[in-house]
Amino acid sequence: MRRYLRYAIIPVLIGAGALVYFFWPQPKYNLVLVSIDTLRPDHLGSYGYGRDTSPELDRLAREGVRFQDAVSSTSWTLPAHMALMTSLPDPVHGVLWDDNRLDPNRTTLAELMKANGYRTGGIFTGPYLLPQFGFDQGFDDYIDCTLYDKKLKGMDVLVASERGRTTPGALDRAEKWLDQKPGKPFFLFLHLFDVHPDFDPPEPFHTMFDPDYQGKVTGKDVFHDPNIRPDMDPRDLDHLQALYDGEIRYVDTEGIKRLVEILKKRNLLERTLIVITSDHGEEFFEHGEFGHRKNLYDTTLRIPLIFRCPKLVPGDKIVSGQVRIIDIMPTILELLKIPQGSEELGSSLAPLWRKPGAAKAERNNFAELTSSSNNLHLESLRADGSKIVIDFLKNQGAWFDLKNDPGELHPVSDQNSAAFQTALKLFNRDRLVLRKCLEAIPWGKQEKLNLDPTTRDRLKSLGYTK
């Protein structure tokens, strides 16, 4: 009799275990969102680059989903990060200039995470992520790891984050923050600035990719170095890019590798969704300019995008279609099963790897660049395979066939051409649709921000403001 009871109780126990598994609340997945400022995807190994700049990022890409053709909302830090945090195009979130801040009525990713029981922390290392712009909205802790040279004044104030190395300090703070309240699900935003100019990584990274160079380009004070100009010697230009690559490898080692080790040491890695992206790229005179916030070419508009979490996303998956920076937030919310807000204009990317054969949603990317320092007002619409850019100050535009001209070297500027007219109609249609969407989400309230003189001088030292 006992033997029969023993056999009978086994399926009961199995059934009870299944009920516990399916109905007992499962632990929430954590989120780490990393933005590596000024990172071009085509300088990463996982995107086909020849130099070994990114072994840690490449490994995460192999373990997760990598998006081949992700694009930002603009080519500079402030509005692009606001688009990342709100899932709103730049004209909608309204933070287009140095003296704008986010409308407090807007809803950020941090606010949604916090409302759903997450502890929220942000760590930033560059001045355009300051809380004065509204980036602290929704964060329990918003930690400034930017470096400043307090000895200088006025126009000579140089953001020491340009010359210094902020990644180790940011990771130190991240580690301390994670240990403050262990056990509670968390959202950690980590902004890493060291890939941004200046290009002066420590050894062995400084000479890693060009050890034999004997020229004058040092990577220091690059925006004022007379040796860095459109007609510079190709050998010097190659060295400049080698220094940029050294910065990438430095952040890959001291930032990404260490982040993974921190999570692994605390048994958090497999229950943490890691998302790695950037705000914009960097131009090396491909179109006559050096740096960013100068144009809307793909050299500065394209960004890397990697999702990694074994239980939530597949491994070794590449998505080739165009995706946008405003799609990152909705994807995170869907993966973590957090109800979306009512404002997001992006859409989740999960269907692109779950049902790759299904009809794709149209993900045309609207981008804008307004700059008083460079006297610019550019708007563009990038669709799968083509892009139109309108210069409103010059009243002219150009269309690019990205499939046959990925370097954007052969613009079609004839406004009477069929290609230009077709692209212009699409641009006007989407611009109109965007404005109609804003009847429910009013056109970005451009809250004026009175920056203190010290902060304004710090931004001037970056070459962004006059």
- Give the CB-side neighbour count of residue 297, counting CA atoms within 13 A: 22
pLDDT range class, residue 384, cuts 50, 70, 90: confident
E strand or H helix at 387: strand 386-391
Fold assignment, 29-365: Alkaline Phosphatase, subunit A (3.40.720)
Mean pLDDT in residue range 341-358: 86
Is pLDDT of 453 > 80? no
pTM given for the model? 0.90
E strand or H helix at 307: strand 305-308
Q: Token pair 């989740």 is at which residue?
A: 348
Q: What's the pLDDT at 20? A: 37
The three-class DSSP label of residue 434 is helix
Mean pLDDT in residue range 5-13: 52
- Asked which of 52-56, 397-401, 422-426, 462-466 is least confident by mean pLDDT, the reply is 462-466
Dihedral sign for Cα 212, 215, 216, 220, please. Answer: negative
| More confident: 345 or 246 | 246
pLDDT in tens, 225-251: 999 999 999 999 999 999 999 999 999
Mean pLDDT in residue range 298-307: 98
Q: What are 417's two structure tokens?
A: 């051409």
Q: What's the pLDDT at 138? A: 98
Q: What's the pLDDT at 248? A: 98
Q: Taking each helix axis as running N to C, give the angle between helix 328-335 and helix 77-86, from 0 to 180 degrees, rounded to the nearest 10.
A: 30
Domain boundary assignment for the chain: 29-365
pLDDT in tens, 51-81: 999 999 999 999 999 999 999 999 999 999 9
> What is the Cα Rg of the chain in Å?
23
CB proximity list for 41: less than 8 A, separation 6 or greater: 47, 70, 278, 281, 302, 303, 304
CB proximity list for 204: less than 8 A, separation 6 or greater: none
pLDDT range class, residue 183, cuts 50, 70, 90: confident
- Top mean pLDDT of 11-20, 291-300, 445-454 is at 291-300
Mean pLDDT in residue range 28-43: 98
Q: What's the pLDDT at 22? A: 43
Mean pLDDT in residue range 318-346: 94
- Asked which of 10-14, 89-93, 420-424 is least confident by mean pLDDT, the reply is 10-14
Query: What phi and psi, each to the nearest 5 degrees, are found at residue 239?
Result: -70, -40
Mean pLDDT in residue range 271-276: 98
Mean pLDDT in residue range 422-446: 73
Q: What's the pLDDT at 23? A: 45
Strands (E), 85-178: 100-101, 119-124, 141-144
Q: Which of 73, 121, 99, 133 is nearest to 324 (CA)?
A: 73
Is pLDDT of 206 > 90? yes
pLDDT range class, residue 252, cuts 50, 70, 90: very high
Say if residue 204 is preceded by a cis peptide, omega within 30 of 0.
yes
Q: What's the pLDDT at 442? A: 61
Mean pLDDT across the chain, nearest whole number?
88
Query: What phi and psi, each to the nearest 5 degrees, are found at residue 370?
Result: -120, 130
Q: Are 83 and 70 in contact (CB under 8 A)?
A: no
Distance CA 374, CA 431 (A): 24
Question: CB under 8 Å, gap of 24 or more: what pairs does 156-160 form?
Answer: 156/461, 157/454, 157/457, 157/458, 157/460, 157/461, 158/461, 159/126, 159/127, 159/458, 159/461, 159/462
Q: What's the pLDDT at 151? A: 52
